[in-house]
Amino acid sequence: MEKKLKLSEKKIEKARTLAENITGKIQNYIDSHTTVAVERASLRLLGADGADKNGVPVPNIIADSLKDKCGFGLCKYYLNALAKTGLDVKELNEKIAEGLDISKIDMADLKSVEIKAKEEIEKLDKRLEENVSYRNKKLSEFAENEKKPWIYVIVATGNIYEDVKQAKAAASQGADIIAVIRTTAQSLLDYVPYGATTEGFGGTYATQENFKIMRKALDEVSEKEKRYIRLVNYCSGLCMPEIAAMGAMERLDMMLNDSMYGILFRDINMYRTFTDQFFSRMINARAEIIINTGEDNYLTTSDAVEKAHTVLASQFLNESFAKRAGMKEELMGLGHAFEMNPEIKSGFLMEFSQALMAREIFDKHPLKYMPPTKFMTGDIFKGYAMNTMFNFVSKATGQTIELLGMLTEAIHTPYMQDRALAIKNALYVHNNIDGFLEEIEFKKDSTIRKRAAQVLDETVQMLSSVKKIGLFKAIESGMFADVKRPPEGGKGLEGVFEKENGYYNPVEKYLKNKLGIADTAEAK
């Protein structure tokens, strides 16, 4: 794609260098720490699954019985139990659910533990490789998947079986991506509910069984429509790494996964969030799951004109964190949004400029573009017009992932006809303006070019300031989204542990080896 904004490549490179310096300091902390969620995710990837009669998940049972051992790595104890009891994974999970306390089992020699680790890691690698191969095979088989933007819609009834009906209907109407909105406040639960669920609020619980049910349904409609329908869920909150693990095993295709969203918008402790996001992104990278970052949320609390540079700064930081986790640019769905006040004169030009700026700077990334939400109105006709302009910008600037706006925005379970009308609108606009950008040029002193240059300049200035004070202080002072969070505050800090000498996590080692990341897991 020809770059028409003529942005300074030196300034773009400077922004990337600043982002690398900023995230490097955080990475030093990440490398020497683990969290209870990282340990539970590792157990899940080794096979720990199921729940006791009270619904407490097996990984939580293990972590609770070994809460003072997280710094040494919990996988060792699970693998030791397999070695000492002679049980297979399914049998051991059942025994743990019935009350077996593996913390009381005498430790076998390390060689026995490592043999078990090798066996379970091989099973994990095989499962993930089969998922990646199947997805790639279907994407290759169905040429329809090449059209862009991919149309992304949500389902959110609270009942996974009702979600399936809405998802299948949306796919048959033209949707390429189905996101199952997660039930309100699940991000604050420090466990993942077990089994299929039918009672969510504003969304449906993210569980492995729900993932499996929706994946099966979308595979069925994919074969019928001859388009591979991608499945999305939320890989965020206190169980970020665990949900990444479940998504990888059940072949989700995208996951909402941001480096700072939980800190800013859910008041989750920053030490916990930064450590969890790294491990979750390694899982996503191995499973070739596209992540969606959350910069669009900044513009719900900040002004889209004055604070556009905070979105771009965060995109550079998210990109840097993702690279450190072994993620290819083709998997980084950096987020942004169409959120100007519709009363602003020439606001459309600024929206166009910022969307095109993101596309040109992050040219290999599958950008995720979000619709107007902050200024949506009960006037459905005006709302439909706003969404039409959003669809125009999305197609014209070459966005990859387009979350469609709905007539009844802010209701988390939009009516079936709302979704159908949103898809018809997008398909109409996409078809009629195909090739639009290739036909136009921008004047040197045009509003569109000057606006993009201004935002880039402000971004470099902001990242320079963040580098001076550090990312923790920048967040504490409210530089992102006008939200202030103290480093020691928020939920989940008690679940962060320094890695002890001899820390053992074969899952982490496997992921780092697979992704070519230097392994510092055993360094205290």
Residues tagged active-site = 261, 296, 368
Contact call for residues 338 and 518 (beta carbons, < 8 A): no
Which two structure tokens, joined as six digits, stand for 69?
A: 């051992």
Residue-by-residue DSSP string for 331-370: GEE-EEE----TTSTTHHHHHHHHHHHHHHHTTTS--EEE
Dist CA 382 CA 492 (whole Å): 42
Dist CA 359 CA 398 (whole Å): 7
Residue 180's DSSP bridge partners are 155
Q: Produce one character per residue of 243-269: b if its CB has 16 or more CB atoms within 10 Å, e if not.
A: bbbbbbbbbbbbbbbbbbbbbbbbebb
Residue 167 vs residues 25, 284, 372, 423: alpha-carbon distances, Å: 42, 23, 22, 13
What is the CB neighbour count within 10 angstroms for residue 488? 11
Residue 154's DSSP bridge partners are 179
Dist CA 370 CA 391 (whole Å): 10
Q: Maximum CA pair distance of the chain?
A: 74
Dist CA 91 CA 381 (whole Å): 58
Contact call for residues 15 and 456 (beta carbons, < 8 A): yes
Is 445 buried (19+), middle (13-18) or exposed (0-12) by CB count in 10 A?
exposed
Contact call for residues 48 and 75 (beta carbons, < 8 A): no
Residues 6+ apart with CB under 8 A from 59: 40, 41, 43, 44, 48, 49, 242
Residue 154 three-state SS: strand
Which two structure tokens, joined as six digits, stand for 181?
A: 């909105």
